[in-house]
A and B are shown apart, each in its own frame.
Chain A
Amino acid sequence: MAILDVQHIEKHFGDTPVLKDISFSLEEGQALSIIGSSGSGKTTLLRCLNFLETPDQGVISVRGKTLFDADDPATRREADIRKKRLHFGLVFQSFNLFPQYTALENVTLARKLMAKTEKTGESEASILADGKALLEKMGLSERMENYPHQLSGGQQQRVAIARALAMKPDILCFDEPTSALDPELTGEVLKVIRGLAQQHTTMIIVTHEMAFARDVADQVIFMDDGVIVEQGPAHQVIEHPQQERTRHFLARFSEK
């Protein structure tokens, strides 16, 4: 059974349709890349999955459980949405680390607060140990006590990835994780994401890095103008696109 099932998502901003009848599913342990030009709706789709936007139509289910159904008001209650968000993690294009906390505090803050409000019984020591292990995994063992402004963009984004992983999401989403980075820093972030893919972390990656999408993702979705134009295995979509619009988009990329 698919870990994520998205059916007929629609989203309008005012009169402008941004997502039109988006349906796809994702298997556990797989990585899905979403490609497409700016304004095609990729980011909005990720924001819908993380409940930062509310779709006008459609159903989102995780592990067979309906998290959101536009027609069922019971699934739209504000109070429940906070917990549903935890099925998903989101790594932002602009990192959005909390500037007043160190790298380690950024990673552990939400878990500590969760332990307090939900009375999970999780000890501060184990949260801290988890946070340290995650930052070590990201190659940041020397940087745990640094504040975000003392870190390079690539380091900040790796902290952000650790912060998202700390909440143990079912599905980790990346919104153009390297677009705000200097070219020489994209490599370290892509390497970390590639490592996660090798460990079969379920991921959705919105990216402009075509070679990366081809090599790391299992599935690729090409979006244009709010619709899914083409989806399929990564190599097939990127190397042998079936649709004219996909070919056109990829041709523009290979010219660069």
Chain B
Amino acid sequence: MFWTVTLSLLAGMGQLLKLFFLTLLFSLPLGLLIAFALRSRCRPVSWFFNIIVWIIRGTPLMLQLIIIFYGPGKWFDNNIWGLFADGRMAACVVAFVLNYACYFAVIYKGGIEGVPAGQSEAGQVLGMTKGQIFFRVTLLQMIKRIVPPMSNEIITLVKDTSLARVIAVTELIKAGESYMKSAGIVWPLFYTAVFYLAFVGVLTIFFNYMERKLSYFR
């Protein structure tokens, strides 16, 4: 029994990891673009993205997930998710990417604004281009500032992947819970916690390492 449970939890963990890494892959850069849009000097652009961020952060991810998965089929009579080999996972990735990009954008924005204006001015008077100032001067200082809030957000993402079950993706918890119904046993649920703890433990070690790596300057 233990092996059967372990194998199905590993499959659930696989779904978790897939959603986790795909979300990060797209939302980390998308968040940066949204952060720039939030800071845009063009008022309509910054307004538009402020409203988007308000809506995304102001409604539950579970609701967004349901709307994104069922919406296209219901309203446009066109289930775009059918085009994917794993449409449910694809819908999850889209919902998670949008949601997390907005949270990341706000963290990035704070990070960028936390770097003193004197830094970019110093770059300007030395004749650097805007791109050089961002990538060679501001970026690393911003990353140093955002490691703690980003680590919070990314650890939350690990556990948020469990929401995927609302559109019937067999992620870790759903995999564990199924044994409650089928075999009347509860311990697989506790076993799922071990998986979460192990993965979050690895992430914690990684973020601590990042913080140490970046502690060579102030």
Residue numbers of A with Cβ under 8 A of B are 50-52, 82-83, 85-86, 88-90, 92, 94, 96-100, 109-110, 113-114, 117, 147-149, 163-164, 167
User: Which residues of A sit under 8 angstroms from B217, Cβ to Cβ?
Assistant: 99-100, 147-149
CB distance from A135 to the nearest CB of B (A): 16
Contact: B124 with A52, CB < 8 Å?
Answer: yes
A88-B123 Cα distance, complex, nearest whole Å? 13
Q: Does B140 make an interface contact (CB < 8 A)? A: yes
Contact: A100 with B118, CB < 8 Å?
Answer: no
Q: Does B132 make an interface contact (CB < 8 A)? A: yes
A100-B136 Cα distance, complex, nearest whole Å? 10
Interface residues of B in 115-153 (CB under 8 A from A): 116, 118-119, 121-129, 132, 136-137, 140-141, 144
CB distance from B111 to the nearest CB of A (A): 14
Q: Does B218 make an interface contact (CB < 8 A)? A: yes
Q: Does B76 make an interface contact (CB < 8 A)? A: no
Known: A113-B132, A149-B218. A96 touches B126 (CB 8 A): no
Known: A52-B121, A100-B140, A100-B217. A110 touches B127 (CB 8 A): yes
Contact: A109 with B136, CB < 8 Å?
Answer: yes
CB distance from B142 to the nearest CB of A (A): 11
Q: Which residue of B lies closest to A113 (CB)?
A: B132
Centre residue among B123, B127, B141, B216 by max chain A CB count within 10 A: B127
Q: Which residue of B lies closest to A47 (CB)?
A: B121
Interface size range of chain B in the complex: 20 to 34
Contact: A99 with B218, CB < 8 Å?
Answer: yes
Known: A85-B127, A86-B127, A99-B217. A113 touches B136 (CB 8 A): yes
A177-B34 Cα distance, complex, nearest whole Å? 38
Contact: A50 with B119, CB < 8 Å?
Answer: no
User: Which residues of B sit under 8 angstroms from A96, Cβ to Cβ?
Assistant: 116, 118-119, 121-122
Contact: B122 with A82, CB < 8 Å?
Answer: no
CB distance from A101 to the nearest CB of B (A): 8
CB distance from A249 to the nearest CB of B (A): 28
Q: Which residue of A lies closest to B139 (CB)?
A: A100
Interface string of B1-40 (1 = CB under 8 A from A): 0000000000000000000000000000000000000000
Q: Which residue of A lies closest to B214 (CB)?
A: A100
Can you show 22 pairs from A to B with CB atoms below 8 A apart? A50-B124, A52-B121, A52-B124, A83-B127, A89-B125, A92-B121, A92-B122, A96-B121, A98-B122, A99-B217, A99-B218, A100-B140, A100-B144, A100-B217, A109-B136, A110-B127, A113-B129, A114-B127, A117-B132, A163-B126, A164-B125, A167-B127
Interface residues of B in 199-218 (CB under 8 A from A): 216-218
Q: Which residue of B lies closest to A98 (CB)?
A: B137
Centre residue among A51, A85, A88, A98 by max chain B CB count within 10 A: A98
Contact: B129 with A117, CB < 8 Å?
Answer: yes
User: Which residues of A sit under 8 angstroms from B124, Cβ to Cβ?
Assistant: 50-52, 82, 85
A97-B122, A147-B217 given; 17 more Cβ-contact pairs under 8 Å:
A50-B124, A50-B125, A52-B124, A83-B127, A85-B124, A88-B125, A89-B125, A94-B118, A98-B122, A98-B137, A99-B141, A100-B141, A110-B127, A110-B128, A113-B136, A117-B132, A149-B217
User: Which residues of A sit under 8 angstroms from B118, Cβ to Cβ?
Assistant: 92, 94, 96
A52-B216 Cα distance, complex, nearest whole Å? 30
